[in-house]
Structure 1
């Protein structure tokens, strides 16, 4: 059956917001949510002892957040289009606060996993924020505002690492989560005070079957990707989950094409501009996360290896932190380039800068300043590219599907980072070097990962070249 016409929008009356305040509040909320990805990194080596669990079981404290975010992002986006984006934004932030508090109170694995899952359910804040900006801001402010909001996905992760490392070394580890809860409360209060409810709602009936099918398919796919190296890629568990995920997603696609009010309008998603942007987003997600996997390990490996720098986690955070600041600084430039040349050109420029950064990383590995330069160059490219993606998506989808379309784009980035983690882990497990009783990833292994990051950026450049030069008006 063909999709039903878009439902008439409900217009909510609100006072005109101050654009700058709305942008700052939404960007801050996005940064707070993206902090959740790096919050536990300083705790990874000691989580088994802290929680009284095995290393394999403790890893679920990270995997659960990924799975919950993947499920929540498209569902929350659709609910935002239907029932109010600000409402879903506040619900997401409330889940973040509840999850952080649960982790702050936990001393065992089960409550930690529950809390981390609740934190993951807040992943829809960034696409919701972008969608609110489209509805509320004047046209001349929209480009730079959405670029800033999109960049917050990387900014929070980069800035969260040094802050989390500092707190983990100098305070009780529970303070990490209480700090996250406090930031979530601040973000919630700011949204209540300064962000109006979006005037655009589609109404209609929520596609519960579509949400369940997409959730099951994504969980199977991402669980196999994240646990494949541990379980064995040729084993029954990984292969079975990949096969099940593929079948479920195919059935889900059939359902979405035939239901009257789908969770994701696949006909809109199949438009060239939306499809290519989402594919490029997944590739950029791969490229972005490769840096986060390689540079911290090089910094922390013992100097006896000849290429490790023997630094602490705090130094790792200080090296990675500037890349987040550079991402944010690139947002206005990304908007200006997109306005002058088109967002496809900005996306291509970002890909070139990322490829250059990884090329530098292959040869510049012997000093802290060199790795800081590499991370900053890659961060600049990611900031340019991430700023262009919302513009490309929103120019090709109806206003009533903004949150759902942006949520799907954010999900594609998350899938890219998951694949990057799995691939990098497999490569580094194969390319090792022994130093007495110490076996660690080899220099060549790190160089291979950075070469793959550069190749991913080149692939994204090629994809962006096929995007329309002047996006159609939505």
Structure 2
């Protein structure tokens, strides 16, 4: 693996931020970091709030299609991310952050005011437009922070999901118990509004990094069509159609053809939506694929708590524990705290050792934790212990994902690479969520228009997610050597092009 200077590179744009000296981050950059943390985690916030209220929403609208509440959101995030990342490069990332947060806020308002489930799904789809926020934040870290702080700041942004996993379930649980799911959704809209204000007033302007003048709409339509066909096929194949139905096989074939056409188009257009040549580099492809599967699976696993803890206990119908939202949040607090602590440790550790080592360790522990949750999810002690095991691994996974990506791409590639990372993570989240529901639907009961699940179905769902995490673990052994955070170039240094 070598790095060679780029041919006559233009000077890298930098954020309009004063330099910080000394060993500490400094008050100005600390405020900026905090202002970036919250909007970057809005995807996780939305996941926690909507998953907490999912059971109540399903019973309120009497629908068996509640899976689409999460799936349509993840799918829109995946499809919008390349366009959002490219727009950030073209028009400046702060401007695009403001635009997508405003659009997402509108979507959340539609969801909370929707009189039926179909209109709620429309709102969820529009709200997905703020999902790519993390891609813009990660790409901006190199321009905002001095070189020695890029790794720790990136790791903290990733591991701050642990804060969400502690505070947001408590808030969502209390709101669900006292105000119903409408109160939870109103609070989610308030969180988006807060993120919008933080970006407006505290995130510095980051100049455009490219001078391209148009988007690759053909590539976007092909990619969108392929992803939509595949996700819908999985949803129907595991539900009413079956895996051998001609409609399922036809949609899978169509998704494959569209994906191939997408690659062909992207290799030929002068302004591609995604750089498939970058994906041809082993370091980039293995990091992006492995991290997308791992993170997408972990976020899917987070929704399992709804069916395990919040669904009612109805003998012969539902194996849920029937807990209140508050009780469930309290039980989950130790596991959420571990994500933060382990993530902080990983941010420091990766400055001294190969980031692939804690990454692999995290995947092993998370896989074992999901298997344990499949066997042990019947009382508070079991859920705490198995959940803590899963989240110890998740702390390493969430923290190391962004750091690994920094180590395999150059500064000029960071925007596109971050966009691909978020897009693939959400696409994998949509896919693993559908696989999870396929396992759940293998043993379900319909009562008053709502699907309830047996204990056997809950176990199968956890084992399915463990298999997905195991796939990410297998892929991790194909990742070539990457740079540690203190070795990467940033927006303030000479630009280099990796031949990795």
What's the TM-score once normalised by structure 1's chain length? 0.87
Gaps of 5+ in 2: 1-6, 20-27, 489-497
2:327 aligned with 1:315: yes
What is the Cα deviation at residue 348 of structure 1? 0.8
Residues 158-197 of structure 1 correspond to what in structure 2 (within 5 A)? Answer: 159-171=167-179, 173-197=181-205
Would the aligned equivalents of 1:348 and 1:464 in 2 still touch at CA under 8 Å?
A: yes
Within the candidate set 245, 261, 270, 2:280 is matched to 270
User: How is 1:90-239 mapped onto 2 (pairs within 5 angstroms)?
Assistant: 90-152=98-160, 156=164, 159-171=167-179, 173-199=181-207, 201-205=209-213, 206-232=215-241, 233-239=243-249
- Distance in 2, matches of 1:24 and 1:432, equals 43
1:416 aligns with 2:440: no
Corresponding residue of 2:63: 55
Q: Which residue of 2 aligns with 1:302?
A: 313
1:182-229 Cα offsets, whole Å, 9 max, x none, are 222221111122111224512213222222222222222223234432
Mean Cα deviation higher: 90-99 or 222-231: 222-231
CA distance change for structure 1 residues 12 and 20 in 2, over 3 Å: closer, same or farther?
Answer: closer
| Corresponding residue SS for 2:351 | helix
Structure 1 distance, partners of 2:65, 2:433, is: 18
1:128 CA drift (Å): 0.9
Cα displacement (A) at 1:236: 4.3
Which digits, 9 at most, give the CA deviation of each residue in 1:56-108, with x for residues without a partner? 56665444322211211122112112221111111111112211222233323
> Which position in structure 1 is the counterpart of 2:252?
242
Q: Cα 1:151–1:213, aligned 2, differ >3 Å: closer, same or farther? A: farther
| Secondary structure in structure 2 of the residue aligned to 1:230 | coil
RMSD of Structure 2 on Structure 1 (CA): 3.2
CA distance in 1, matches of 2:211, 2:34: 29
Change (3 A) 1:239 1:150: farther
Partner residue, 2:491: none
Q: Distance in 1 between matches of 2:208 and 2:161?
A: 24
308-317 or 209-218: bigger deviation: 308-317
Distance 1:421 1:13, change over 3 A: closer
In structure 2, the residue corresponding to 1:55 is in which secondary structure? coil
Deviations 1:141-200 (A, max 9, x none): 111211222234575467544432321221254332322222222211111221112245
Query: Once the 2 structures are TM-superposed, how far is the Cα of residue 327 of structure 1 from its aligned partner?
Result: 2.0
SS of alignment partner, residue 132 of structure 2: helix
Shift of 1:349: 1.6
Q: Call closer, same or farther: CA 1:466–1:170 in 2, change over 3 Å.
A: same
Q: 1:59 to 1:272 in 2, by over 3 A?
A: closer
The aligned counterpart of 1:255 is: 265
Q: Distance in 1 between matches of 2:55 and 2:320?
A: 18
Structure 1 residues 218, 153: CA separation in 2 closer, same or farther (over 3 Å shift)? farther
SS at match of 1:396: coil
Deviation at residue 121 of structure 1 after TM alignment? 0.9
Q: Distance in 1 between matches of 2:304 and 2:174?
A: 21
User: Are residues 1:15 and 2:11 paired?
Assistant: no
Q: Which moved more, 1:81-90 or 1:218-227?
A: 218-227
Q: Tell whether 2:367 aligns with 1:358.
A: no
Structure number with greater CO (CA < 8 Å, separation at least 6) is 2
- SS in structure 1 of the partner of residue 323 of structure 2: coil
Instruction: From the superposition, tell whether residues 451 and 106 of structure 1 become closer, same or farther in structure 2 (CA, over 3 Å).
Output: closer
Distance (Å, rounded) in 2 between the aligned partners of 1:91 and 1:464: 36
Q: Are 1:85 and 2:97 counterparts?
A: no
Matches within 5 A, 1:30-45: 30-45=40-55
Structure 1 residues 72 and 104: alpha-carbon distance in aligned structure 2, compared to 1, 3 A threshold: same
The range that moved more, 253-262 or 310-319, is 310-319
Alpha-carbon spacing, 1:6–1:251, altered in 2? closer, same or farther (3 Å):
farther
> Matched residue pairs, number?
466
Q: SS of the counterpart of 1:468?
A: coil
Does the 8 Å CA contact 1:10/1:202 hold for their aligned counterparts?
no
| Cα deviation, residue 272, structure 1 | 0.8
2:4 aligns to what? none
Output the CA distance in 2 between the equivalents of 1:269 and 1:210.
Answer: 15
- Give the Cα–Cα distance (whole angstroms) in 2 for the partners of residues 193 and 302 of structure 1: 47
Give CA-to-partner distance per residue, 1:294-329, whole Å, 9 cap, x none: 444333463857986442343333333443332233
Contact 1:34–1:154 (Cα < 8 Å) also in 2: no
Deviation, 1:258, is 1.1
How far apart in 2 are the matches of 1:469 and 1:7? 25
How big is each residue's C-alpha offset from its partner over 1:29-76, in whole Å with a ceiling of 9 and x where there is no partner?
Answer: 12233222233334434436755xx61566654443222112111221
Match of 2:352, SS state, is: helix
